[in-house]
Amino acid sequence: MNKPSWKIRRRIVIATLIFCAFCVLWIMIRGDERSVLEVIVMCAFGLAGSTIGAYVFGSVWDDKNVMKEIGPRAYEQEPPVIDGPQQ
């Protein structure tokens, strides 16, 4: 079992947070319709909060599964080789 790559996951999280920040800034600079904009801002903050929560929860869950599969030395520079069926 190889350690999972978080490179793509990080890019998705960062892109989502940038999108949320752009929405809020755009509304602050150019907003006209107050009630609609309030909903958009609340949804942008909700999306940002849920994205951060899911990223942290997913990271903890993934680390727990890796540690269970590989063991406590899973995140050393060269993780130990697991003996198992050859594929």
pLDDT tens figures, 37-81: 889 899 999 999 999 999 888 888 887 877 787 776 666 666 556
How many domains are contained in the chain?
A: 1
Which pLDDT score is estimated for 80? 55
In a domain, 59, yes or no: yes
Which pLDDT score is estimated for 9? 82
In a domain, 20, yes or no: yes
Domain extent at residue 27: 7-70
What is the DSSP secondary structure assignment for residue 33, as one 8-state letter?
-
Which pLDDT score is estimated for 45? 94
**For residues 16 and 68, which has the higher predicted lDDT (pLDDT)?**
16
**For residues 10 and 31, which has the higher predicted lDDT (pLDDT)?**
10
In a domain, 82, yes or no: no
pTM score, two decimals?
A: 0.66
Dihedral sign computed on CA atoms, order 59, 4, 14, 40: negative
CA atoms of 20 and 26, how far apart (whole Å): 10
